[in-house]
Amino acid sequence: MIFSLFRSRSTRIAAREIYSEIITQARQPLFYEGFGVPDSVEGRFDLLALHSFLVMGRLKGADGSDSPGGHFANKLFSTMVEDLDSNLRELGVGDLTVGKKVRGLTEAFLGRAASYDEALKAGDSELMAQAVARNILGDEAHAKSRAAISLAAYVFAVHKALAEQKAERLMQGVVIFPPVADFLPSEDYGGNNKEGE
């Protein structure tokens, strides 16, 4: 029994550590300055959702939710939900509505995850560009912009980088993301520029 408690505590700590790494990556200024992601509560949530989805997907892998990685992914998801709850309370959302807002954010996360998962499984860069344009840049009409195309390339690169990292290491709270700077649309980026404009 005592060992089970230690394992539970260790898993909780590791989940918080990897979640902290996800937040750090999602808050990289280059996403906002270089890709034109809105620097807002919504924009930050969308980047958090993207990176959390990618890490959770890697943890579940081919073995699914019943694997050790799957269980850890569920703990990571719980950590994210707890953080969203805490942040909403810090923003002054009342106790009577915070639960409803957290449920709304959870549903938004699952919807975004489904669209990213579809594009990854298809290996379809155009479909991913549509997904990031709609969910992160705020308008699917920007799917052919340099920002959307570059951000889609970044998503595939993160997916590949995570696949090369051992699940055991991730479950210890350690994750390495590719540098955001390697995927910037262009130095003269000034919004959701379309190719050829």
Mean pLDDT of 47-75: 89
User: Between 102 and 2, where is the model more confident?
Assistant: 102
What pLDDT digit, counting tens, does each position of 130-170 carry? 999 999 998 889 899 999 999 999 999 999 999 999 999 99
What pLDDT digit, counting tens, does each position of 65-96 carry? 678 899 999 999 999 999 998 888 887 777 77
Instruction: Tell me, letter by letter, the H, E, C secondary structure of 144-170.
Output: CEHHHHHHHHHHHHHHHHHHCCCHHHH
Taking the model in full, what pTM does it have? 0.87
Domain segments of the chain: what residues? Answer: 29-174
Residue 62 makes CB contacts below 8 A (sequence gap 6+) with none
Angle, CA 116 vertex, CA 113 and CA 118 arms, to 5°: 105
Using the 8-state DSSP alphabet, how is residue 177 labeled?
P
